Amino acid sequence: MMFHLPRRHSVVRISVAVLATIPVAAWSHAQGRSSSASQRPPQTVTAQAYPAELVQAGRSLFAAQCGFCHGRDAAGGESGPDLTRSVLVAEDVRGDKIGAVVRSGRPDKGMPPFSVSEGDLAAMVAFIHDQKIKMESLQGNRRTVDVADLGTGNPETGKQYFNGAGGCARCHSPTGDLAGIAARLQGLTLLQRMLSPSGRGAGAGGSVPERLVTKVTVTLPSGQTVTGKLAYRDEFTIALTDSSGWYRSWPAGQVKFTVDSPLEAHAEQLRKYTDEDMHDVLAYLQTLR
């Protein structure tokens, strides 16, 4: 299926579709149910309307706190599910179910608990429901993107962004780690990896390559330091897996720690990208053969 729209409109339409196609496990697993991209999103059980200003506030908060996992449009990210297809969201009434998940987390799914104010939670709930309503209104069920649909960017503009405002060149090199990237990855797969590179299949057996691992150094009250791979972190707990494979955790308020996350720059960048930026950088990456 091809879009024949002016470039600006095409970019907006495609970027939403792209972020919605990243494979994810559904939030509805919390209730023992699954969600399939081949099915229509579950219909909202209780109709809800929210003020436009509350939805807009929620959009910014969601992008900053949830977007890297769930996608900026709540339609799925690298490790977080498509909330517009979640049964839990469909059955939620003004945050009564979403709030419980946000504050308790889902440790079994890799989601930590979050401490958010009532106002911020209400805004994010409004945004999630607004996105779900929009998805329910779509005709058809398009969840894939033709390579040609992504060919709207300007490679030269993307190169300038890569080397300048985007700051990509600080960590990546077209003759180093990105050499031949377009020969290995094309279209949607390349865009997904560009936006969220933590990596399905990034390493052997689907493991995350060492250069992308988040590391943490914990300094104990005695002065002893412990270093390892970050295993868990919230406002109460810091945990790591040390070089021997042992899981170790401490109350966050009783130790000092520093976190080194190679992917933090990507999380920050995802909040800054415009639709045109994304497509321009993608166009540039597609020249690296």
Domains of the chain (ranges, CATH numbers):
22-137 (1.10.760.10), 151-207+265-285 (no CATH), 214-261 (2.30.30)
Cα–Cα distance for residue pair 233/276, rounded to 1 Å: 34
Instruction: Going residue by residue through the chain, which has 289 residues, state the pLDDT in tens, using 9 for 90 and above.
Output: 333 333 333 333 344 334 434 433 333 333 333 434 445 677 888 888 999 999 999 998 888 888 778 888 888 766 778 888 888 999 999 999 999 999 888 877 778 888 889 999 999 999 999 988 888 776 555 555 566 667 778 999 999 999 998 888 888 899 988 999 988 888 877 887 888 765 443 333 344 556 667 889 999 999 999 999 888 887 788 999 998 989 999 999 999 999 887 777 777 787 788 888 888 999 999 999 8
Asked if 26 and 33 count as a contact pair (C-beta separation under 8 A), the reply is yes
Q: For residue 138, what are its two tokens?
A: 């779509």
Pairing of strands 256-260, 247-251: unpaired
Radius of gyration in angstroms for the set of CA atoms belonging to the chain, rounded to a whole number: 20
Cβ count near 121 (within 10 Å): 18
Give the helix/strand (H/E) hosting 36.
none
Cα–Cα distance for residue pair 85/132, rounded to 1 Å: 8
| pLDDT at residue 249, as a whole number | 93
Alpha helix stretches (DSSP H) within the chain: 7-20, 52-65, 67-70, 87-91, 98-104, 118-137, 155-163, 181-184, 187-195, 264-272, 275-285
| Residue where the block lists tokens 């040390």 | 242
Report the candidate in 114, 245, 270, 262 with the shortest Cα–Cα distance to residue 195.
Answer: 270
Cα–Cα distance for residue pair 267/70, rounded to 1 Å: 12
